[in-house]
A and B are shown apart, each in its own frame.
Chain A
């Protein structure tokens, strides 16, 4: 009997995570802290009690939706680096609704969600159109859209949504108008950040999985991603799919903006490019662009992000270690060919050993 060992996407992603954590440990040790202690507090800070689990979930909600956005575009062979800008615009639309629309809550929530979807989708569909009609690379176009959103909000918020005290952030949304609800906060032991976005995120994951796996649209999108020339030859309208893909990706990022700005923070700060837009790339890469994978990797990164404050309070390690670990994981995912070679080499050795033993 011959046993074949082969590397797969999961093993490679796992190697990247482990190496990222090791790199984080090295950076902790370099500054004279104990890495084991650091990681203990980092994980404790994310999972120590039900309240902290709630905060971790609250952070993960946004990451889930951004990760879903990036991975949806990946499926069509597009790289949506513009999730930050789409988050800002979707979040702005939702914030405007939250400040100005007072109608019964169920109806209100539907309008809120639709506003965020429209805002994000508009910001996503522009690069999609430019790609389809003029062959402008979506990476450059989405970066430009990010900064257009950043500066527009930089001047829009102080002009129209100025808070009472600070110039740099909008006024807070009323609790009743935000995504937060009492029973959910009480369920998670008083965690004040956890919000209704969790249901939006889970619904989005189920819907996107359904679209990708069970519909003609999903099949066409994946076909374009796999080989656009082949898809074109098979009669699939490539440009139409590129536009739809960017539109849906933008809508998902817009929803992420809604969960962050009307659920997690309840106001908008200006002069801040939301880093979740880039963390979402890590979520998508680690989740192998699979909606279920995105769910779990968002929880993992959410834990790192929400535990860093506690770790910083208990040790001398600066909270930026979490972002360092995430960035390192992305770098190692980009260079995953290294692990693929390594694991294939290990697998070959193992197969040889097994074959020798079997031959004896």
Chain B
């Protein structure tokens, strides 16, 4: 699953495999403790957040996708393609580009509450596919 996420970010299988190796190789005891801690929620989500932080330099170098995020991010992802452009921009911004709500708020000239609501709508679409 993690390789799929990294591939969506870097768009290159061999580069993604390299990052996957780096992510696991660079885990230290503290990281493992945080990722696998009981009561801290999904281990996968913790690992994905750790990966996102490791990919920050790459994410910063990669182009944003405000105009047509679906074409760049979700080539084969039917779920994200169900989101409208605004929802894709917000969801892809936080999920793939590691942007904070505050940054997106400035970029899209919307309030933080509005960004969070758009993000919530994106999750509603994911959930409607899950259930």
A and B are interacting partners:
no
Q: Which of B's residues lie within 8 Å of A, judged by CB? A: none
Q: Which of A's residues lie within 8 Å of B, judged by CB? A: none
